[in-house]
A and B are shown apart, each in its own frame.
Chain A
Amino acid sequence: MAFLTRGDRQAFSVIYNAYSSALYGVIARIITDEEAAADLLQEAFIKIWNSRASYDPSRGRLFTWLLNIARNTAIDTTRSKQYKAGQKIQPIDNSVKQVNRSSRIAVNYDSIGLKETVAKLKPELRQIIDLLYFGGYTQEEAAKELNMPVGTVKTRTRNALIQLRELMEVKKDER
């Protein structure tokens, strides 16, 4: 995406407007304290901006790259000694938060909102996504947490994403 290489304030505005709510949403799911989440979004954008030359379009979509930076920034915080000392790691709760239907993200999910999607996801598969993606667990750690073999976790991971793909109705020609 040319905007990223431009690196000026206007380019930043475009990217912020397009992606900030998705990135903030992911961060806020991992670190529930709003002030901390805002700080982390800033950290993420600074990292994004400083490392923008390293984004390789042939390796994947820009959105994926941005999401990973935001997610990793938040996950790293949960691993820091200070964070662990200061508070328990937020348990992954099952309450569904109100989604802000930002029209900036052009996503072809029609009328499927968060609530509906989550309701359709099999609970044990959703749990895996929560643990791995939002919780930052490795599959081994998830296996310990759920008291099951790693093999089961791996199968569930595969199935979770298969179901997700069905729900998201990902089309091959989608941008």
Chain B
Amino acid sequence: MNVKEYIASGILEAYALGSCAQAEKEEVEAKLAQYPELREELRLIEQSLGTYASLYAKEPPAGLQNKIASALFGNEENKGKVIGLRPNALTLPRWLAAAAAALLLATTFSAIVLYSMLSDSNERFAETEKENSLLNSSLAQRDSAIGSMNKEMALLKDPMSQLIVLKGMKKAPDAKAMVVWNKKTNEVYLEVERLPQAPQGMQYQFWAIVDGKPVDAGMIHTDSAGMHRMKDFEKADAFAITLEKEGGSPVPNLEEMYAMGKP
């Protein structure tokens, strides 16, 4: 390949300007890896483009820095902790232990069943009892389920908590997730029960539909099980999960909706 011709073709400029299609991008990146002259040329292009872009610099609104920092790091009360599993020994009332033991197909959905025994019945919960038959039975899952039950019981027992089951859409009919929404504190917790493995470079994103508009509720990290604290919401008409590119998107790709549920 003639390096000079390649440079003269302007493909590196197009790459730096972000106007290459995915296939072209990959081609360019392969060539960049191979030829140091191309890397040097690109460096100069990117440098001048960066300088040009910074000429348009504009002061962001005051207070935005704090807002973003709060979103990333939380404020005093909200540390954004992941509520993980506690597979330690636990003490349950005898009747509860018996009920737990009886649920051989235990996953976290057993928490829903237990909750329905404890609280006033709600037609939402009747559905999930049928779903128990879909659940796998493995010792590890049962143990982790019993452990996480402890934490989730606390959440669910709170009368201000609302449970929403997100059911699979056409994309993945078996997809399932559970949302616990504390209406008093506005805290929203998401536990993914089942989602297809996200392809490389893609990531699941959680949304709340507020006044008909989808609002980002946080990225989903499927590598850790259990309940995850997501963004707080005072009101929402529905919750949904879409598949986006890694890092997320400001607006959902509605063609990649995997699960949805209404409070």
Interface residues of A (CB under 8 A from B): 8-9, 12-13, 16, 20-22, 24-26, 28-29, 34, 38-43, 45-47, 49-51, 54, 60-61, 63-64, 67-69, 71-73, 75-77, 80-83, 97, 99-102, 105, 107, 109, 113-114, 117, 129, 132-133, 136-139, 142, 154-155, 157-158, 160-161, 164-165, 167-168, 170, 172, 174
Cβ contact within 8 Å between A21 and B60: yes
Complex Cα gap A13–B70 (Å)? 12
Determine the chain A residues whose CB is within 8 A of the CB of B59 once the complex forms: 21, 24, 100, 102
> Of all chain B residues, which has the CB nearest A41?
B60
From B46-54, B126-134, B153-161, give the one contacting chain A.
Answer: B46-54
Complex Cα gap A165–B247 (Å)? 32
Cβ contact within 8 Å between A139 and B14: yes
The answer, yes or no, to whether B97 is at the interface (CB within 8 Å) is no
Determine how close the nearest CB of chain A comes to the CB of B253; give it in whole angstroms: 9
Determine the chain B residues whose CB is within 8 A of the CB of A47 once the complex forms: 247-248
Using A25-B58, A29-B56 as known contacts, say yes or no to A71 and B65 having CB atoms under 8 A apart: no
Using A82-B251, A117-B52 as known contacts, say yes or no to A138 and B20 having CB atoms under 8 A apart: yes
Cβ contact within 8 Å between A40 and B250: yes
Determine how close the nearest CB of chain B comes to the CB of A175; give it in whole angstroms: 9
- Interface residues of chain A: helix, strand, loop or mixed (majority): helix
Determine the chain B residues whose CB is within 8 A of the CB of A51 once the complex forms: 246-247
User: Which one of B8, B49, B56, B73 lies within 8 Å of A164 (CB-CB)?
Assistant: B49
Determine the chain B residues whose CB is within 8 A of the CB of A136 once the complex forms: 18-19
Complex Cα gap A97–B58 (Å)? 10
Determine the chain B residues whose CB is within 8 A of the CB of A25 once the complex forms: 53-54, 56-58
Using A50-B247, A138-B21 as known contacts, say yes or no to A21 and B58 having CB atoms under 8 A apart: yes
Query: In chain B between 7 and 26, which residues have their CB closer than 8 angstroms to a CB of chain A?
Result: 8-11, 13-14, 16-21
Determine the chain B residues whose CB is within 8 A of the CB of A49 once the complex forms: 72
Cβ contact within 8 Å between A45 and B72: yes
